[in-house]
Structure 1
Amino acid sequence: MKLGIVTGIPGVGKTTVLSFVDKILSEKDIPHRIVNYGDYMLNTALKEGYVKNRDEIRKLPIERQRELQALAARRIVDDLSTLGNNGLGLVDTHAVIRTPSGYLPGLPKHVVEVLSPNVIFLLEADPKLILERQKRDNTRARADYSDIYVINEVIQFARYSAMASAVLVGASVKVVVNQEGDPSIAANEIINSLM
């Protein structure tokens, strides 16, 4: 199985692009599975009573977040192992998480070595566009990302973090721009880079 990790700041359009990836791979009859890292962390955090919703995870103490990261990585690898050698696994996550204590790597050593991706994708867009997308999405609480300066800072930290993670496992890092109006362009770029 080939594994790609798709990262990006909240509002960049990861969910939309990955839905196009899913559609394209399904049409080509390529075995694949797309999982959301945060879902794995959230399910454990809810079960343990640590949080009431996804956006509270990044406000947990760092030690608790590390624990949730490690559990999620092991469960994802177990779930994706059913794809076999010809399958494609994609993990939707963040390269960095902005917390009250500072930036937490989304792919620290104890996580990236378990996942062992082939490619780490950085899905990016113009910061002004990201801010507009965040404002349109009223299903999430993203006030701590709703500033152009912060968005630019997160994008830069994500690049540094992705490269540092890639060094640990010999993965490549690819920046993919999610152009407004046609997420299929970014989806095809992800697929072509991973195959």
Structure 2
Amino acid sequence: MAIGIVTGIPGVGKTTVLGKVEELLSKRGVRYKIMNYGDYMLRRALEGNYVKDRDQIRKLPLNIQKELQLQAAKAMYDEAQALGEGGVGLVDTHAVVRTPQGYLPGLPKHIIEILGPNVIFLIEAPPALILERQKRDQGRSRLDYSEESVIEEVMQFARSFAVASATLVGASVKIVINREGSPEEAAAEVVKVLTGG
């Protein structure tokens, strides 16, 4: 069983790329599960009456965010393990979270050691393209990522945090560029790394 963590700044197109990854894995007959970290955290945050929507999670006090991270990681690890040998578990998340208190590692030691990934993917695109994609996605509130300089800074932190997390568990870090109109290319690269070909 392989676990891949797919990260990227909001608006980079992770969801689109993962949709194409799902298609490729299905065609190959690979057992897989794509798990969105935010969905798992949101479920627990709603149960605890901490938030009303997903974008409020990163504005919660750090101690609450950390507890939600931990609960979500344990649930995702269990579900990935249930895939058995030859299965692929994919965790859709962020390597770093920008909060009012500063940058929070999306994959700190206590989380990355639970998940034990083989590889951490950084899905990237030019900041101007990310801003354009954010404007097209009217279903999310991303006002705190509304400048190219902020996006560039977050991407730099994401790379640093991904390498730090990978070092703790001996995982590799792979940068995958999500070019406009070509999410299939990015997806094929992810699948190739996870399945060895």
Normalising by structure 1, report the TM-score.
Answer: 0.99
Matched, 1:117 2:132: no
1:180 matched to 2:180? The reply is yes
Equivalenced residue count is 195
Partner of 1:13: 13
Tell me the distance in 1 between the aligned counterparts of 2:75 and 2:182. 33
The alpha-carbon deviation at position 153 of structure 1 amounts to: 0.2
Q: Distance in 2 between matches of 1:191 and 1:102?
A: 33
Residue 94 of structure 1: aligned partner: 94
Distance in 1 (CA, whole Å) between partners of 2:135 and 2:98 is 18
Query: Which residue of 1 is the match for residue 65 of structure 2?
Result: 65
Q: Give me the whole-angstrom Cα distance separating, in 2, the residues matched to 1:184 and 1:91.
A: 18
1:36 aligns with 2:47: no
Deviation of 1:86 (Å): 0.5
Alpha-carbon distance in 2 for matches of 1:166, 1:78: 20
Aligned equivalent of 1:162:
162
TM-score, normalised via structure 2 length: 0.98
Partner of 2:145: 145
Q: CA deviation at 1:79?
A: 1.2
Aligned to 2:55: 55
- Paired-residue identity, %: 63
Q: Which runs of 5+ in 1 are unaligned?
A: none
Quote the residue 2:190 is aligned against.
190
Secondary structure of 1:12 counterpart: coil
Question: Per-residue displacement from partner, 1:45-99 (whole Å, max 9, x unpaired)?
Answer: 0001000000000000000000000000000011111100100110000000000
**Large movers: runs of 4+ above 3 Å:** none
Unaligned runs of 5+ in 2: none
**Given residue 191 of structure 1, which amino acid in structure 2 is its aligned partner?**
V
Q: CA deviation at 1:135?
A: 0.6
C-alpha distance in 2 between matches for 1:29 and 1:110: 33
Task: Name the aligned partner's letter for residue 88 of structure 2.
Answer: L
Give 1:74's aligned amino acid. Answer: K
Question: By how many angstroms is 1:42 displaced?
Answer: 0.3
**1:85 aligned partner:** 85
Partner of 2:82, secondary structure, is helix
Cα RMSD (Å) = 0.5
